[in-house]
């Protein structure tokens, strides 16, 4: 079954006049692996988010759509803490633990803050 991420990637390829093979080559993977990611059979490698943004010169709105598609597709997200201070690492872990307890108003405040608003 195609995922939100798969829909995003297919639409992106179509808009750029590419086929599955073209995108797979750009990402350095096999066609079958990319297809499996699109169909939810394999997890998308974490570095693909920034790589796709760079390869396809995605604007802000496209980046937001990609991020949403990834979030819709993933049940869990892996974070890389290399080079991150212990204080920031603890903050991220604390946030993850409390995330499911946040109400809609608190989540909206966080969204605004992360998008640069107050």
Query: For 14-43, what is each residue's pLDDT tens digit?
Result: 999 999 999 999 999 999 999 999 998 998
Domains assigned to the chain: 4-73 (1.10.260.40), 84-118 (no CATH)
Residue 54 CB coordination number (10 Å): 9
Q: How far apart are CA 113 and CA 89, in angstroms?
A: 19
Please report the pLDDT score of residue 11 as a whole number. Answer: 95
- Rounded to the nearest integer, the mean pLDDT of the chain is 90
pTM: 0.66
Q: How far apart are CA 19 and CA 13, in angstroms?
A: 6
The predicted pLDDT at position 58 comes to: 96
Q: Which two tokens stand for residue 99?
A: 């995330």
């Amino acid at each position: 079954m195609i995922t939100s991420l798969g829909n995003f990637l297919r639409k992106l390829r179509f808009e750029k006049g590419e086929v599955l093979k073209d995108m797979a080559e750009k990402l350095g993977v096999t066609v079958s692996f990319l297809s499996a990611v699109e169909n939810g059979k394999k997890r998308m490698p974490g570095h693909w988010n920034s790589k796709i943004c760079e390869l396809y010169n995605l604007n802000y709105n496209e980046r937001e759509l990609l991020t949403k598609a990834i979030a819709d597709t993933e049940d869990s997200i892996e974070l890389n803490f290399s080079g991150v201070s212990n204080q920031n690492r603890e903050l991220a872990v604390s946030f993850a633990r409390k995330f499911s307890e946040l109400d809609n108003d608190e989540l909206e405040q966080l969204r605004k803050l992360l998008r640069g608003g107050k």
